[in-house]
Amino acid sequence: MRLRSQVIWTSISKSLKHVSVFILAIFLTRYFSKYEYGTYLQIMIIANTAIYLAVFGFPASIYYFLPRTQEKRRLIKNTVAILFFISVLVALCIYAASDVFGRQFNNLQLIDYGWLIAAFVLLQIPIKLYEPFMIASDNVARFVIVNATFNVGFLLSILIPVVLGYSLGEVLFSLFVFYIVQLLAIYAAVLFTYRQLVDDPDGEPYLPVSQLAYSAPIGLSGAISEIGVVVDKIVVSSYYDPEQLAVYARGAMEIPLFNVVANSLGNILMPRFVEEYQKGNINKVIELWHSSIRIMAMFVYPTLVFFILTADRLIPLLFTDAYLGSVIIFQIYTLGLIMRITSYDAIIRAIGKTKILFKMSFLSVSLNILLTIALIELIGIIGAPMATVLVGGVIRIFYLVVITRLLDMNMLNIFPWNSLLRLILISIIAGLVILPILTLSLPHFSMLVLSGSIYSVVYLIGLRFSGALSKSEKESVRGLLPRSLRWAV
């Protein structure tokens, strides 16, 4: 499968999970009370945070070690055993701490759901091996099919009982059953792929200590990064009740596709980064990185501007007027997309300087916690998204400084600044064109369709003449667009 196809299909497959979460939010805000929906969110925050804290970077180490090691089968067996051991240990700890979570999150219902949270952790940690194993063993197509199937299954396991009017407890039990089926099916696929592995006598010796040394910084940084993603919601939960969390979470939402595409692109390009860096082709590394950034920004920047301008129509359309308080939070949160146009750690991981990732992640979370608490105390709940956006921007600038030093380059050359400026300018111009339309008294859906159509045409025309993309990048983008719109690029 060609690189572009790998990125597209992997991103689509993974984005189905994020799209499923987004679809669920639309239904859960309508079928559940704010308190019930806030409780559901707290359960997911606890379970997902525990999972990312626990995996310790072992799944990610497969990307690095499987193509290099002699003992490929031993690598996979050891990693599987470690993940199952961790899952049992962490699940027991989660169950024992149920009352702590109930008190800390101002929701004693979490004590009753403690066993389910522990079960989610137990069943989800071992499957974190699946993506890196499939991609590193060049089974991207198989990964895409299985992953997409279970992302749809996740959606249905919650959506069907919700629409049928089941209680929150019954919905969570349905998800528990789904996770059991998912674990069994994924490990059947893992076993099938494992049997096809062939040890490489010319590869490097497999040393568990080396895997641990490589995994630990990635694991710690990944865990801290995950906390960074939800730290504002954790702090909000500790200050406010589940109803307030529900309103906040619907504003502090991420656009499903963009992070997935950036991370997928980073993971798939990383082997090429490693190869070119080992050859000393620094310019090629930067060329590949710049190209991925420009393509990402081409989609991210117009979305950023359009969503900020239409948030007061978009939020009530999606989640009803009960969540109008989420509008300003969403607008602030969306501003953070301006720097979220790449996976900043991909080059650092390719170079092997993974300890830097831990330091950066630790700094990010520390600053986010301190600033979130300070701004909530100072200006209330709106301080949480402001802190998240400010800290995110500062940390990404720090990443660029680190990369410039590692590659011995200056800040002007490390990022395609000129192209990014052109893309944001044509996005703003397209936004100015639709401002008069946004003053019309139209239903939310009609307004979004009309303004979105005009905005897209103006942006694509501007993109055609902006010179922001290279000829090869335009060809790649044309392949993603409907035939009727390819002329614009």
Distance CA 469, CA 314 (A): 30
Which residues are paired to 204 by β-bridges? 69
Q: Check residue 203 and give its pLDDT.
A: 78
pLDDT at 267 over 70: no
What's the whole-number mean pLDDT along residues 84-99?
95
DSSP secondary structure string for all residues of 365-419: HHHHHHHHHHHHHHH-TTHHHHHHHHHHHHHHHHHHHHHHHHTT--HHHHS-HHH
What's the whole-number mean pLDDT along residues 244-263?
75
Span 163-181, pLDDT tens digits: 999 999 999 999 999 999 9
Q: Check residue 37 and give its pLDDT.
A: 95
Higher pLDDT, 476 or 415: 415
Q: What is the mean pLDDT of the chain?
A: 85
What's the whole-number mean pLDDT along residues 49-72?
83
Residues 269, 346 contacting (CB under 8 angstroms): yes
Q: Check residue 337 and give its pLDDT.
A: 87
pLDDT at 184 over 90: yes
Q: Check residue 112 and give its pLDDT.
A: 94
Q: Check residue 254 and give its pLDDT.
A: 72
Exposure string for 175-197, b = 16+ CB within 10 A, e = fewer:
beebbeebbeebbebbeebbeeb
Span 357-415, pLDDT tens digits: 778 878 888 899 999 999 999 999 999 999 999 998 998 898 888 888 888 788 888 88
Q: Check residue 307 and give its pLDDT.
A: 94
Higher pLDDT, 463 or 370: 370
Label residue 89 by pLDDT band (50, 70, 90): very high
pLDDT at 480 over 60: no
Residues 226, 53 contacting (CB under 8 angstroms): yes
Q: Check residue 262 and give its pLDDT.
A: 56
Q: Check residue 451 and give its pLDDT.
A: 95
Label residue 65 by pLDDT band (50, 70, 90): confident
Q: Check residue 116 and give its pLDDT.
A: 96
Chain position carrying tokens 């099919």:
145
pLDDT at 478 over 80: no
Q: Check residue 70 and give its pLDDT.
A: 83
Highest mean pLDDT: which range of 95-104, 212-221, 410-419: 95-104
pLDDT at 488 over 70: no
Q: Check residue 9 and give its pLDDT.
A: 62
Higher pLDDT, 120 or 473: 120
Label residue 42 by pLDDT band (50, 70, 90): very high
Distance CA 391, CA 369 (A): 10
What's the whole-number mean pLDDT along residues 332-353?
80
Span 128-155, pLDDT tens digits: 988 888 887 777 778 888 888 898 999 9
Distance CA 404, CA 417 (A): 14
Q: Check residue 265 and give its pLDDT.
A: 58
Label residue 464 by pLDDT band (50, 70, 90): confident
Residues 447, 310 contacting (CB under 8 angstroms): yes
- At a CB cut-off of 8 Å and minimum separation 6, what does 416 contact? 290, 293, 294
Percent of the chain, pLDDT > 70?
86
- At a CB cut-off of 8 Å and minimum separation 6, what does 249 contact? 38, 41, 233
Highest mean pLDDT: which range of 126-140, 167-181, 259-273, 463-477: 167-181
pLDDT at 344 over 80: no
Q: Check residue 142 and give its pLDDT.
A: 80
